């Protein structure tokens, strides 16, 4: 089955800095990669996703890049703000199913 590795497990940045979270996946047939943000006491919120026919996607301050050859994808957050503090999960769609395999999560702390 699919295996997703996520790094780092924790990330501390100063407000205004950029943050990058990286994930690798094992199944070369995976074709969909979402990112979720989970704030304390809440459910995961889909913030951006990318499909395997695209190399990069942006939405305001967040962007995701995908390298299919290397089987890795990354989340980039620019001009970080304290409200970006949360746990971020990457995931990969299991080929042949409609299920997701999640990475272990990254706790992002943005200090004012």
Residues forming contacts to other proteins in the complex (CB under 8 A) are: 32, 34, 36, 41-46, 49, 89, 93, 97-100, 102-105
Residue 79: CB minimum distance to other proteins, A: 25
Q: Are strands 10-14 and 106-111 parallel, antiparallel or unpaired?
A: parallel
- Specify the residue, 78 or 87, whose C-beta has the smaller distance to other proteins: 87
Q: How far apart are CA 92 and CA 65, in angstroms?
A: 14
- Specify the residue, 41 or 112, whose C-beta has the smaller distance to other proteins: 41
Beta strands in 1-112 (DSSP E): 4-7, 10-14, 19-25, 32-38, 45-51, 56-59, 62-67, 72-77, 86-93, 100-102, 106-111
- Specify the residue, 78 or 107, whose C-beta has the smaller distance to other proteins: 107
Residue 29: CB minimum distance to other proteins, A: 14
How many of the other CB atoms lie within 10 Å of CB of 42?
9
Residue 13: CB minimum distance to other proteins, A: 20
- Specify the residue, 58 or 104, whose C-beta has the smaller distance to other proteins: 104
């Amino acid at each position: 089955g699919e295996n997703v590795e996520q790094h780092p497990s924790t990330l501390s940045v100063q407000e205004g800095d950029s943050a990058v979270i990286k994930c690798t996946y094992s199944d070369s047939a995976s074709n969909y990669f979402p990112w979720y943000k989970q704030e304390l006491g809440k459910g995961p919120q889909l913030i951006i996703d990318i499909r395997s026919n695209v190399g990069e996607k942006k939405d305001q301050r967040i962007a995701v890049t995908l390298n299919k050859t290397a089987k890795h994808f990354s989340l980039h957050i620019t001009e970080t703000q304290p409200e970006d503090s949360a746990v971020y999960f990457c995931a990969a769609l299991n080929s042949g199913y409609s299920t997701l395999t999640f990475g272990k999560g990254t706790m992002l702390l943005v200090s004012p």
